[in-house]
Chains A and B, each alone.
Chain A
């Protein structure tokens, strides 16, 4: 019941989104909300910290960009192909990465990200290298930013629903079991590596899909779409929103982009503020912004309760 209310609240926010924020920025927030939600599948639900999500984001973006520019395929085909490519790549990369746990898993995801970054950087004839891949045109019907926002918002809701289904499914329960105690999950008969790979791949599929949308947003795939710093941003968004709650990363993505937009206009050295916020969240608010809302809600309820007590 509570999830339904949150969902309707999100729909309400999406409806007013372009009225309180520029359409392109509102759209970018939604794209990164999908990425952060996808990252939370592996981080919050399966307990795997990846520093390589930009690999799939970038591959999705480049695939969509190249298919749009060179093949002129219809949008649904472009989005599907980019997602399939990112998914296929995730199976290969994930199969290697899940062989290791903890720090070594992180290092492997990071290494693959670096590798794919340098492929994109060097293969200039295909990706444009450091100059980026320009000329990714949206179909005429979506040329208007508001129309594109509406499409992305609907796709965002679809992704949200699908990911919710995943975490509520038996797979999701196994993911949580692995996060809580990997040895115990294995002891009760689950093939831990297979489930980790599954979680990794599902996450990458959504990330690649979001990357494809991103390439259409500005009409260019910049090289930083696949840079490992982007992977860092994704982790930041997930943690600041709250990795312990399904909807937390949405708040994280919105907060991250909103903060960097607003504060950077006011103060040149704005990343220092991001750093301070991140440090405060890690020190005092491990559950992210969601935790803050919960505590606030708890305080109000407690006070209300006391007032009505006999």
Chain B
């Protein structure tokens, strides 16, 4: 083999540099009449079961308006976030360049969403997300990113208040926290707010994401004689923990609080016996009594082969997409800066009730719901998991919010 000599290398490099400088870049920008919205959801990877439901629900919001708003045609494209920040970032970049995307909805994991948010900031496209991270409307806030989920502070406050109302004598809480940013930020608020509601946190166990074996945590929790097990975890982690708490005989004797639940998609995986004596906090539940929710739930169930109602994930993607459309309607345009300005401070009656977008941090102030699970004997059908017994849209106190400067467009 002949090694590459220095001359070949220099000639090649110069040729490359010259070609790239002279050429410019092909712009595949489409005609500006159609505005493209990207739904980036996990179609593969850990949340692969959730992604298609989210995408379907997001597109339902567009179908309702026949892909047209403010006299502008809308186009919907999807990409796989894989629940990997690297892949999601690359795909978002690619979709913005190839499909001239101006709006992004998704994905379904805080870390991935923050990465996509960086792309949105850099490329100046609007990004709507719903999730447990407080950073999107907190320390990593910027003008292009919006948060649909309730603030973790609002959520933990109403869950604790509801449990206090339900159990006047309860005092001792034992916490199961998933060990990553989402769990930590909610834990912070539970610990801060618990004394104000008359509770004492008697123990905390942090478990890794994807934990399936909880016996050691359960034994530790049992030793502290708690009045409730308070969980800050999600999806299969929650289901596994609940199942084992039941097998150990701790529940239904001791109430279990799922403080930030996926709702239907989690509850359907537990037997009615396991769901006894449970309090569930969630951003969306299908019995929410608003005209928009009723219409959405009916249409979603019609499209589902088993008639399964939508859980938090599809509710969130539908809710986010409706906020995108509401912003366009308010701006009477699909122009990004105009829509951002119109969305800031926007107040509408929508999917979960009154929703207000706070201009200074882009947090949506909206109700967070607490359900009491339905005992087996009282269940009207297989999907009658619980009844909403409380909700609150109390805004997080300004001094606790870490978004100090939302920045410029």
Residues in A lying within 8 Å of B, measured CB to CB: 1-4, 7-8, 10-12, 14-16, 18-19, 22-25, 28, 121, 124, 129-132, 134-135, 146, 149-150, 153-154, 157-158, 161, 164-165, 168, 218-220, 222-225, 229-230, 260-261, 264-265, 268-271
Contact = CB atoms under 8 A, between A and B. Distances in A.
26 contacts: A2-B1, A3-B2, A15-B16, A15-B19, A15-B23, A22-B93, A22-B94, A24-B93, A25-B90, A121-B180, A129-B180, A130-B110, A130-B182, A131-B114, A132-B114, A150-B16, A150-B20, A154-B17, A168-B3, A218-B118, A220-B115, A223-B85, A224-B87, A261-B90, A261-B91, A265-B79
B354 to A, nearest CB: 30
The dominant DSSP class at the B interface is: helix
Nearest to A18: B25
A220 B118 contact: yes
Given A24-B90, A150-B20, A222 B85 contact: yes
Nearest to A168: B3
A292 to B, nearest CB: 21
Interface string B47-65: 0000110000000000000
Contact of B111 (A22, A153, A154, A223): A223
B49 to A, nearest CB: 11
Contact of B90 (A146, A165, A218): A218
A7 B1 CA distance: 13
B393 to A, nearest CB: 26
Contacts of A4: 2, 4-5, 8
Contact of B20 (A8, A132, A146, A219): A146
B8 A7 contact: yes
Find the residue from A164, A223, A224 having the highest chain B CB count within 10 A: A224
Contacts of A158: 9
Given A130-B180, A223-B85, A2 B12 contact: no
B145 to A, nearest CB: 12
A157 B9 contact: yes
Contacts, number: 151
B159 interface: no
Contact of B89 (A124, A153, A222): A222
A15 B13 CA distance: 9
Nearest to B43: A268
Interface string B4-47: 11001100110111011101111000000000000000011000
Instruction: In the A-B complex, list the 8 residue pairs whose CB atoms are closest, starting with the nearest.
Output: A222-B85, A15-B19, A11-B12, A130-B111, A268-B43, A130-B180, A224-B84, A222-B86
Contacts of B122: 219
Contact of A24 (B94, B133, B184): B94
Contacts of B19: 15-16
B79 A157 contact: no
B2 A2 contact: yes
Given A25-B90, A264-B79, A269-B44, A157 B16 contact: yes
B20 A157 contact: no
Nearest to A144: B25
Interface in B87-122: 87, 89-91, 93-94, 97-98, 110-112, 114-115, 118-119, 122
A130 B51 CA distance: 20
Contacts of B4: 3-4, 7, 161, 164
Interface residues on B, range: 35 or more
Contacts of A265: 79
Given A8-B12, A24-B97, A132-B114, 16 more contacts: A7-B12, A11-B15, A19-B26, A22-B93, A28-B90, A124-B181, A124-B184, A129-B180, A131-B110, A134-B114, A135-B118, A149-B20, A224-B85, A268-B43, A268-B44, A269-B43
Nearest to B8: A4
A154 B80 CA distance: 31
B135 interface: yes
Nearest to B114: A131
A150 B176 CA distance: 50
Contacts of A264: 43-44, 79-80, 91
A4 B10 CA distance: 12
B111 A131 contact: yes
A161 B13 CA distance: 11
B358 to A, nearest CB: 21
Find the residue from A222, A229, A260, A270 having the highest chain B CB count within 10 A: A222
Contacts of A22: 93-94, 97-98
Contacts of A219: 118, 122
Contact of A14 (B1, B16, B97): B16
Contacts of A150: 16-17, 20-21
A145 B296 CA distance: 42
B140 A134 contact: yes
Contact of B135 (A16, A131, A146, A164): A131
Nearest to B111: A130
Contacts of B118: 134-135, 218-220
B207 to A, nearest CB: 13
B3 A164 contact: yes
B71 to A, nearest CB: 29
Contacts of A19: 23, 25-26
Nearest to A16: B19
A22 B87 CA distance: 15
B181 A130 contact: yes
A149 to B, nearest CB: 7
Contacts of B13: 11, 154, 157
